[in-house]
Amino acid sequence: MTAATTTITTWNVNSVRIRLDGIAALIEAHDPDLLCLQETKVVNDSFPLDAFEALGYRHSIIAGMKSYNGVAILSRLPFADSGVRDWCGKADCRHVWATLENGVEVNNFYVPAGGDVPDAALNDKFAHKLRFLAEMINWFAARSAPANKLVLVGDLNVAPLETDVWSHKALLKVVSHTPIEVEALDALKASHRWIDTARIFTPPEETLYSWWSYRARDWETADRGRRLDHIWVTPALEDAVQSVDTLRPARGWERPSDHVPVTLTLSV
């Protein structure tokens, strides 16, 4: 049987309704079969499903709330199954998943950003972030051995490597790159023997970012980025990984998201 190509993009769009032109441009650039979006910021009834259907994405699982968070998977390929899961006892729309007919299960996460102060005793948002990661670790550790073909994508809001941030030293006490968060992300990675696919193609010695703050005067010249967006696969899919592309130019588009799309191509 000939392997088919499946292409999966993750993108924190920071409002799906205001980013429809950007989504069309992303499709031009990367032509993904699946779009995994975060921060859609819209309730399900107002989600622009029509626009995605017009672009060829007829299958979907969405979980949205007013103003905040929100995740979605839009797909050209039908789902065998799909669902929404709550974390930390909150129905705050941070995870949707879908299993394709070839058995590949795609999990799309929006991990809490964690606020400004990296101390769980002082900052409830940081405590929530650590609890969320701990719950993910337990969830994937408790699932059956990673013989299954799983994909985990999303805005994990942690930049784990020194080369995943513009200055390791300057960001050691900045939420997203603190040692306690990096430890949690490492534990999550170990929980199901996940493989960080972007780093197969861009070695850890090289910088790689997927997010640049809106607040920089000139994001491109300053290049004070962080790699917050990730695409992981289980070992059963390692040999299927063909390429990973981070669409840095998207940060320079008109009315950009502060995150850029990251796309994985699988041969399965």
Partner DNA sequence: ATGGTCGGTGTCCGA
Q: How far is the CB of 203 from DNA (least distance, A)?
A: 28
Q: Which is nearer to DNA, 176 or 265 (CB)?
A: 176
Stretch that binds DNA, among 65-73, 100-108, 141-149, 161-169 (CB under 7 A): 65-73
Assess contact for 147 and 236: CB atoms under 8 A: yes
Residues binding DNA: number (CB under 7 A): 19
Q: How far is the CB of 90 from DNA (least distance, A)?
A: 12
Residue in the structure block whose two tokens are 């850029």: 260
State which of residues 169, 203, 205, 214 lies at the interface with DNA (CB under 7 A).
214
Q: Which is nearer to DNA, 66 or 143 (CB)?
A: 66
- What residues have CB less than 8 Å from 258, skipping those under 6 apart? 12, 14, 211, 212, 213, 214, 251
State which of residues 1, 203, 215, 218 lies at the interface with DNA (CB under 7 A).
215
- CA distance linking residue 108 with residue 115, whole number of Å: 21
Q: Which of 50, 106, 51 is nearest to 78 (CA)?
A: 106
Q: Which two tokens stand for residue 43?
A: 């309730």
- Positions 181 through 200 that interact with DNA (CB under 7 A): none
Q: Which two tokens stand for residue 148?
A: 């299954």
User: Is residue 113 involved in binding DNA (CB under 7 A)?
Assistant: yes
Assess contact for 40 and 71: CB atoms under 8 A: yes
Q: Which of 108, 74, 75 is nearest to 93 (CA)?
A: 108
User: Is residue 67 involved in binding DNA (CB under 7 A)?
Assistant: yes
User: Is residue 167 involved in binding DNA (CB under 7 A)?
Assistant: no
Q: How far is the CB of 99 from DNA (least distance, A)?
A: 28
Q: Which is nearer to DNA, 74 or 100 (CB)?
A: 74
- What residues have CB less than 8 Å from 9, skipping those under 6 apart? 26, 30, 32, 34, 35, 36, 261, 262, 263, 264
Q: How far is the CB of 42 from DNA (least distance, A)?
A: 7
Q: Which two tokens stand for residue 69?
A: 């968070």
User: Is residue 112 involved in binding DNA (CB under 7 A)?
Assistant: yes
- Positions 223 through 252 that interact with DNA (CB under 7 A): none
Stretch that binds DNA, among 110-118, 186-194, 198-206, 235-243 (CB under 7 A): 110-118
- CA distance linking residue 234 with residue 150, whole number of Å: 5
State which of residues 58, 76, 125, 248 lies at the interface with DNA (CB under 7 A).
125
Cα 11 from chain centroid (whole Å)? 6
Q: How far is the CB of 35 from DNA (least distance, A)?
A: 17
User: Is residue 17 involved in binding DNA (CB under 7 A)?
Assistant: yes
User: Is residue 138 involved in binding DNA (CB under 7 A)?
Assistant: no
- CA distance linking residue 257 with residue 104, whole number of Å: 28
User: Is residue 169 involved in binding DNA (CB under 7 A)?
Assistant: no
DSSP state of 238: G
Interaction site with DNA (CB under 7 A): 14-15, 17-18, 41-42, 66-68, 112-115, 125, 157, 213-215, 255
